[in-house]
């Protein structure tokens, strides 16, 4: 099984913001009054991306009970720079010189100053949504990552939704103890919504790619997985499903590394990168969905998409658990578990790796992938041969027969249960023996593990967040 190829991804995000955040947030334009988005380059399949934007637009229309980031009530608490004396950079002549390219990206250059405050240093990355730049905050004298959204309506609408999620998370967890990325500021600049984050390191995927897809050591897999589960459990406890968990959306706080020499099976020496600290943050809440909101039919990036999503059976928090299982496999082996771009082939891979899809799910789905309860799949076709040659039963991927490795695969297997109701919950996952050897200084929460009070993790939670 070969590592998948993905589009360029950038890796800077934020964790903390000033306590004077509300006072500092500003509009930097004389145009419409809209909010911002987040900072990371999106590298998802086209089918996932298009469904995601469609879903976000649907959610924007349906969320009547939620105040927009640009509501009058919110705006009156912020200084409207368009109604005050403009600084030199924002003079009429300067405003008229602000340009977008044909795709809606802001045209800028190193040294470009936005709203007399953010000086652009360099480009960190880009995606369909816009670009991310490193900027210097001229007021606070520090650098941060600033995501500049395209001057396109559908991306502005998506930005509003994510701002709302990030602000709700900040209300519940102002100190970012649950490892979710946090906004420092958001504003609008000539039709471009912008959001600022603290600079972080590479994503766990980018580090893996730069390391020639050499897997992470088991102790780092354990630490990263623990933090990811802990962070996503926080979302689930607050009636929120991330829906787009993947290695690109997990960033190291600091991706500084050391080079170590190892010997392969043929005793040939080669050098590998080892990240010095495996502390991570969870990013990209643009697809996050509250329990009471409309649930789009298709969510998640292809490789991490749960079977109930593919079969259009409806989804909830357990779809995040499936994604985490796929991510843990990838960190351990350096390869993608389900390397495909086709629904039928994806289901065939699942059956090859995990066994037959339950008859109940096959019978209930309205999709046409099954015939008399069995997957309609030609094993003799070229696609059939590809699946047979590149996939094998899950436990055969074990690299060693050590107890720790077997514990890891037991946890992965429980996360990859077909039936969402039978899938392990994240609260249960934190109690799994795989995490018994996690050092105390890596544990999180007031009880050092936050595993008390079983409440089905993904199904019985408080309503402390709502839109």
Compute the distance between CA of residue 91 and CA of residue 403 in angstroms, rounded to an integer. Answer: 67
DSSP assignment, residue 197?
E
- 374 SS3 class: strand
Compute the distance between CA of residue 325 and CA of residue 119 in angstroms, rounded to an integer. Answer: 41
- Pair 168, 57: CB distance under 8 Å: no
Q: How many CA atoms lie within 13 A of 183 on its CB side?
A: 28
- Pair 133, 125: CB distance under 8 Å: no
Please, which residues have CB within 8 angstroms of residue 359's CB and are 6 or more apart in sequence?
373
The count of residues in the chain is 467
- Pair 305, 69: CB distance under 8 Å: no
User: Is 147 marked as binding a ligand?
Assistant: yes
Please, which residues have CB within 8 angstroms of residue 345's CB and are 6 or more apart in sequence?
383, 386, 387
Compute the distance between CA of residue 226 and CA of residue 250 in angstroms, rounded to an integer. Answer: 12
Compute the distance between CA of residue 422 and CA of residue 434 in angstroms, rounded to an integer. Answer: 19
Compute the distance between CA of residue 279 and CA of residue 201 in angstroms, rounded to an integer. Answer: 10
Q: List the structure tokens of 13.
A: 């995000």
Which residues does the annotation mark as catalytic? 244
Compute the distance between CA of residue 154 and CA of residue 170 in angstroms, rounded to an integer. Answer: 25
Q: How many CA atoms lie within 13 A of 450 on its CB side?
A: 19
Q: How many CA atoms lie within 13 A of 254 on its CB side?
A: 5
Q: How many CA atoms lie within 13 A of 401 on its CB side?
A: 0
| Residue whose tokens read 């993790």 | 457
Compute the distance between CA of residue 7 and CA of residue 20 in angstroms, rounded to an integer. Answer: 37
Residues annotated within the binding site for ATP are: 147
């Amino acid at each position: 099984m070969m590592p998948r190829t993905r589009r360029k991804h950038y890796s800077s995000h934020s964790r903390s913001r000033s306590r004077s955040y509300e006072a500092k947030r500003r509009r930097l334009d004389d145009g419409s009054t809209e909010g911002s988005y987040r900072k990371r380059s999106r590298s998802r399949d086209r089918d996932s991306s298009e469904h995601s934007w469609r879903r976000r637009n649907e959610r924007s229309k349906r969320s009547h009970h939620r105040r927009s980031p640009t509501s009058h009530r919110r705006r009156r608490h912020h200084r409207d720079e368009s109604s005050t004396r403009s600084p030199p950079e924002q003079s009429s002549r300067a405003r008229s010189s602000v340009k977008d390219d044909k795709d809606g990206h802001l045209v800028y250059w190193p040294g470009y100053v936005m709203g007399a405050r953010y000086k652009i240093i360099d480009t960190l990355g880009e995606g369909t949504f816009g670009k991310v730049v490193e900027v210097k905050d001229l007021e606070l004298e520090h650098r941060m990552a600033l995501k500049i959204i395209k001057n396109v309506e559908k991306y502005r609408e998506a930005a509003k939704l994510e701002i709302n999620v990030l602000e709700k998370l900040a209300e519940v967890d102002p100190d970012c103890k649950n490892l979710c990325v946090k906004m420092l500021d958001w504003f609008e600049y000539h039709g471009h919504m912008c959001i600022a984050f603290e600079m972080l390191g590479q994503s766990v995927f980018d580090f893996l790619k730069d390391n020639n897809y050499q897997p992470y050591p088991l102790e780092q897999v354990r630490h990263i997985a623990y933090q990811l589960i802990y962070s996503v459990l926080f979302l689930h406890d607050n009636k929120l499903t991330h829906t787009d968990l993947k290695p690109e959306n997990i960033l190291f706080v600091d991706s500084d590394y050391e080079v170590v020499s190892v010997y392969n099976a043929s005793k040939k020496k080669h050098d590998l990168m080892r990240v010095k600290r495996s502390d991570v943050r969870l990013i990209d809440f643009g697809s996050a969905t509250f329990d009471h909101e409309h649930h789009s039919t298709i969510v998640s990036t292809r490789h991490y998409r749960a079977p109930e999503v593919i079969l259009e059976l409806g989804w909830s928090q357990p779809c995040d658990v499936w994604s985490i299982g796929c991510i843990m496999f990838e960190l351990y082996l350096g390869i993608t578990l389900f390397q495909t771009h086709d629904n039928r082939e994806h289901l065939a891979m699942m059956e090859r790796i995990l066994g037959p899809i339950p008859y109940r799910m096959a019978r209930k789905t309205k999709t046409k992938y099954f015939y008399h309860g069995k997957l309609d799949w030609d094993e003799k076709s070229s696609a059939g041969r590809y699946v047979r040659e590149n996939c094998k039963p899950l436990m055969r991927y074990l690299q060693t027969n050590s107890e720790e490795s077997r514990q890891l695969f037991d946890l992965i297997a429980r996360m990859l249960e077909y039936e969402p109701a039978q899938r392990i919950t994240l609260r249960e996952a934190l109690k799994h023996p795989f995490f018994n050897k996690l050092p105390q200084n890596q544990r999180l929460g007031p009880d050092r593990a936050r595993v008390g009070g079983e409440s089905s993790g993904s199904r019985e939670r408080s309503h402390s967040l709502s839109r």
